[in-house]
Amino acid sequence: MSPKICSDSLYTVFVNEAFEFSIKFYKDNFPEFLEQKGILRLLKSAKDIEKCKLCEGNLPKKFKYLNQDEISFVKKNESRFGGYFFEDGAIIDSAGLIKKMLENIKVVEGLHVEHLDFIDNTYVIENIKAKGVILCAGNSKDFEQLEFCMLKNIYGHRLDIKTHMKLPFHLHKSCSISADKNGMIHIGATHIPNHKYSDSKSYEEYVGQMITLAKSYVGFDSFEVEKIHFGARNSTLDFFPVAGKAINAKETLKKYPYIKNGSLVPKEKYIYHPNMYILSGVGARGFVLAPKIAEILTQNICNNIVISKKIDTQRLFIKFAKKQFI
């Protein structure tokens, strides 16, 4: 759980708003799964210091700049430009959190779904019937209803490491290192874009690179890798998540083919899959972005609150439509 720094982009503002919302959500509802020791975001250059000072208005409220002398546990070569410390920075016990959230909710496991049938105003999946559907995960290839989102995968690792090293709080530069707890630290990074990843290539090379990187920050000679986690995250092309009504891309382009060449059609006139919504593309910042996006989609479905153009499905559909023209 970390904010974004050194930028005044719309994405940075959105991420940091979501960070504050989600931290409060976890503290209010699931504090037992939040390890909140604060996080230090190390700066990479003198230029970073200047950029961050100009963009401090976009940062979460509880932060302070720490100079090299105040972060002596970081190697001198990596701490010379200091860093920003955020006291709300945290680690989430993801497995425990998800298990808790699913209490009293019926979960169907091991069901492979290739097609969603809409019969008599009801979605039918084998013996399951539902009036509405929210597609929350998966790849663009999983369902034709997600095709226009053009989701991509980014891959990452997390290592659980036993060591005697002591860290007072979490740390991030090009990878993340957790504060120590019961002789254990975690090192992680989402660092392999889809176009660089190959199923046939062993990821041991990437793991080795990450350990070398972490050691260059804080240094730990005696350690034992207890477990390696590896997985893919869905991301959109512009990294903003996506939420809103699922557009029937095929039928909409058939009715309004001139969208392909850039002509604007109000999204109210699009053809949508009935009672189907999308919440996806949270990428590497899932636990920061997901609660905020869920709140936005909930307000849209229940109270008809308009979803911002930054994350609604229309922005991705327009990009998809223009690609059909090329």
Task: Give the C-alpha separation, 143 to 274, whole Å.
Answer: 15
Average pLDDT score over the chain? 89
pLDDT at 193: 62
Report pTM. Answer: 0.90
Summarize pLDDT for 209-233 with one digit per residue, the tens: 888 889 999 987 788 999 988 888 8
**pLDDT over threshold 70, residue 131:** yes
With beta carbons less than 8 A apart as the criterion, state whether 138 and 146 touch.
Answer: yes
Q: Architecture of 152-235 per CATH?
A: 2-Layer Sandwich (3.30)
Task: Give the C-alpha separation, 49 to 43, whole Å.
Answer: 7
Number of H helices, E strands in the chain: 8, 16
Residues 6+ apart with CB under 8 A from 101: 30
Other CB atoms within 10 Å distance of the CB of residue 318:
17
With beta carbons less than 8 A apart as the criterion, state whether 52 and 183 touch.
Answer: no
Coil, helix or strand at residue 93 = coil
Task: Give the C-alpha separation, 194 to 245, whole Å.
Answer: 27
Q: How confident is the model at residue 200 (pLDDT cuts 50, 70, 90)?
A: very low
Higher pLDDT, 241 or 205: 241
Task: Give the C-alpha separation, 175 to 107, whole Å.
Answer: 34
Q: Architecture of 112-151+237-325 per CATH?
A: 3-Layer(bba) Sandwich (3.50)
CB-side exposure of 169: number of CA atoms within 13 Å?
22
Q: Which of 59-68, 206-215, 244-253, 277-286 has the lowest mean pLDDT?
A: 206-215
Q: What Cα–Cα distance (Å) separates residue 113 from each residue in 131, 167, 168, 281?
A: 17, 45, 46, 20
**pLDDT over threshold 70, residue 201:** no
User: Residue range 134-138: average pLDDT?
Assistant: 82
| Residue with tokens 């009935």, as numbered in its chain | 274
Other CB atoms within 10 Å distance of the CB of residue 115:
7
Q: How confident is the model at residue 196 (pLDDT cuts 50, 70, 90)?
A: low
Task: Give the C-alpha separation, 265 to 208, whole Å.
Answer: 50
- pLDDT above 90 coverage of the chain, percent: 59
Phi-psi region of 265 (alpha: psi -120 to 50; beta: other; left: phi over 0): beta
Other CB atoms within 10 Å distance of the CB of residue 77:
8
pLDDT at 203: 66
Q: Which H or E run includes 280?
A: strand 272-280
Summarize pLDDT for 279-316 with one digit per residue, the tens: 999 988 999 999 999 999 999 999 999 999 999 999 99
Summarize pLDDT for 68-89 with one digit per residue, the tens: 999 988 999 899 999 999 999 9
Query: Where do the domains of the chain lie?
Result: 1-107, 112-151+237-325, 152-235
pLDDT at 194: 59
pLDDT at 141: 66
Q: Which of 40-44, 70-74, 128-132, 321-325 has the lowest mean pLDDT?
A: 321-325
